Structure 1
Amino acid sequence: MSETATRFYVVKKGDNLNKIAAIYGLTLDQILKWNPEITNPNVIQIGQRVRVSAPESSGEYQPFPGADFFVPDTASPIIEAMGNRLIEEHCSAYPGGPDDHWSDADRASYVKWQQKLGFSGRDADGIPGRNSWDKLHVPAVLTE
């Protein structure tokens, strides 16, 4: 995976864009360029995700990690990136936003995605499969 893979930061209480930029050694202009949905740099919300590395323009998507990856004890930035994509696709069942732990909310959100793709019954069980995963275009993330 390239070092230009997309990385996200989830806004916490007390954060502002200048602080987030400083944490990652970026400028405010870089943050704003990578996050065009932020129209007012003085207004961000707790739980909002902010891109802090090159966006998807690198053309890299997260490879399918396999269905066995999506179990209750899994914690990975891949899960959070997936959740953010599900939100972008209007397939959210998250009460407050995704995190890096696989949860019932992730599974319920993924069911919505599978149904949006036309899957039903056992094919819409909330566990990602290669076909639905590849169509979601989860940006590649650094998993250090």
Structure 2
Amino acid sequence: MAEPPTPAAFAQLLRDEGVTVVEVSDWQDHNRNHKGPWGPVHGVMIHHTVTKGTARTVEICRDGHDALPGPLCHGVIAKDGRVHLVGYGRANHAGLGDGDVLAAVIADRTAPVDNEADTDGNRYFYGFECENLGDGHDPWPAAQLEAIERVAAAICRHHGWDPLSVIGHLEWQPGKVDPRGFTMDWMRGKVADRLKVDKPTTPLPAPRRPVVDLSKLVNAAKTNPKMAARTVTYSGVKTVEAALVDAGYLAKTYLDGHYGTTTVAAYAAWQRHLGYSGTAADGIPGKTSLSKLGKRYGFDVVA
């Protein structure tokens, strides 16, 4: 029987494998244990999220929704390779699956094709949601794939498991297709290669955060076509637009790097979200509102 390590030990074993870990609020105590036991654990299950934007994805996986309360996994593996821990214990990620697959995972043998939904997978598996639309077109960056490999290897190394203990949701529950965009046989091969290393390799480099210059951004914002006769472009505009997309106020980023009227309206919505109103919510960034946007959605601000 394999019992899960303590939350602190779990986070550390991931770091020891070179994983960049982000601990989200009360993840250590956030679980669904009141609905049933978690453990003994027998494997690692990989999913894709069908969502866009890391911040939104992490929030959904932590909190869940009306039909499926969170946590929806133990960790969210973002496109930049960071692993956001959102829960520890029973999580709503696996659902009912094939008991014959579970038996194969326990025995370290190749699993049969799943054709039943008769066994509670939330009890027996670690679950990791990977930020991806799952449409077969959304890319899987190298940093994200390596993070999946490292996470799976870290858990297998801790428990002494074979890579056959790492499965996809599509191998567990009939009708599921996740993860879509790579094969689990390929990923298990990567995990097997990593487990041959006696000691974990060096950590993945921490992703470098973009920096937005407030004065340049304001200059670009104040010269959009409705405010002046000319426009000013600045590369930081796209960084801010990406954050507004993540926050749900903008549909997409634009390629030109100028602060257009759509971006003004989206930023004004962000200002209103922060409690500003009237002329204080005019869509022109201020230091406080921009710093709060950057802190939440992954960039730094210089004045």
2:131 is aligned to: 37
SS at match of 1:75: coil
Instruction: Report deviation, 1:89.
Output: 1.2
SS at match of 2:214: coil
Kindly provide the CA deviation profile for residues 61-86 of structure 1, in whole angstroms up to 9, marking residues without a partner as x: 42423533322212222111101101
Aligned match for 2:220, one of 56, 62, 69: 69
Aligned match for 2:289, one of 125, 132, 140: 132
Q: Does the Cα contact within 8 Å between 1:86 and 1:110 map onto a contact in 2?
A: yes
1:86 is aligned to: 244
Pair 1:56–1:129, CA change in 2 (3 A): farther
Q: Does the Cα contact within 8 Å between 1:64 and 1:134 map onto a contact in 2?
A: no
1:85 and 1:115 map into 2 onto residues whose CA distance is: 16
Q: Does the Cα contact within 8 Å between 2:220 and 2:259 map onto a contact in 1?
A: no
State the structure with bigger RCO (CA 8 A, min sep 6), 1 or 2. 1
Q: Does the Cα contact within 8 Å between 1:85 and 1:136 map onto a contact in 2?
A: yes
Pair 1:118–1:128, CA change in 2 (3 A): same
Q: Does the Cα contact within 8 Å between 1:34 and 1:55 map onto a contact in 2?
A: no
Does residue 1:119 correspond to 2:276, yes or no?
yes
Q: Does the Cα contact within 8 Å between 2:242 and 2:253 map onto a contact in 1?
A: yes
2:253 is aligned to: 98
Pair 1:52–1:81, CA change in 2 (3 A): farther
Instruction: Report deviation, 1:51.
Output: 7.9
Q: Does the Cα contact within 8 Å between 2:213 and 2:236 map onto a contact in 1?
A: no
Uncovered stretches (5+) of structure 2, i.e. residues with no partner: 1-77, 82-129, 144-203, 225-230
The structure with the larger Rg is 2
1:56 and 1:122 map into 2 onto residues whose CA distance is: 39
Kindly provide the CA deviation profile for residues 41-64 of structure 1, in whole angstroms up to 9, marking residues without a partner as x: 83229xxxx989999854564242
1:89 and 1:51 map into 2 onto residues whose CA distance is: 22
| 1:69 partner letter | A
| 2:253 partner letter | P
Instruction: Report deviation, 1:34.
Output: 1.4
| 1:43 partner letter | H
Percent identity of equivalent pairs: 22
User: How many residue pairs are counted as aligned between the two chains?
Assistant: 102
Pair 1:133–1:51, CA change in 2 (3 A): farther
TM-score (normalizing by structure 2) = 0.29
1:21 is aligned to: none
Once structures 1 and 2 are overlaid, which stretch shifts more, 113-122 or 69-78? 69-78
Uncovered stretches (5+) of structure 1, i.e. residues with no partner: 1-31
RMSD: 3.5
